[in-house]
Structure 1
């Protein structure tokens, strides 16, 4: 079972909040809201996405890299995959 199944309800709550924030941003842009309010909304969305990424990443690292039955080769491959993902995410 994937680690995301364990916290599925909490993750879905976060995603729904992000969807709501994105909808509010869209509405603000359509209504030509002031730039500062739009920037604040973008910052809030970015923070929410970063929090989601952090939570899922932590679960992944604990579940997969923390597995005791993993060979050194499997662990090295997993580390490389996570490093690649982080490089992509942090661009």
Structure 2
């Protein structure tokens, strides 16, 4: 995917922040933090994953569907997107 290559550093930075957030959840559990704190951190992770997913999906739609040079490529990219959406 060309769009992930072009946005590689930005996407990797987001994944690294996610890793840090997950490590925060782990630390909270290890230190017996209040369940409300653990839930807050989990909600933050969920939001970050949703944001990353949306960003990659939007780029996929723009590059492989909207700007696809042929109808066959557009159809294939659309089918790929449907498959991904059905797995979520």
RMSD, matched Cα: 1.3
Q: How does 1:43-54 map to 2 (within 5 A)?
A: 43-54=43-54
CA, structure 1 residues 81+68, in 2 after alignment: closer, same or farther (shift >3 Å)? Answer: closer
Q: Distance in 2 between matches of 1:68 and 1:78?
A: 9
The alignment covers a number of residue pairs equal to 88
Q: Distance in 1 between matches of 2:68 and 2:40?
A: 43
- Structure 1, gaps ≥5 residues long: none
Residue 17 of structure 1 corresponds to which residue in structure 2?
17
TM-score, with length taken from structure 1: 0.88
TM-score, with length taken from structure 2: 0.91
Q: How does 1:1-12 map to 2 (within 5 A)?
A: 2-12=2-12
Residue 86 of structure 1 corresponds to which residue in structure 2?
85
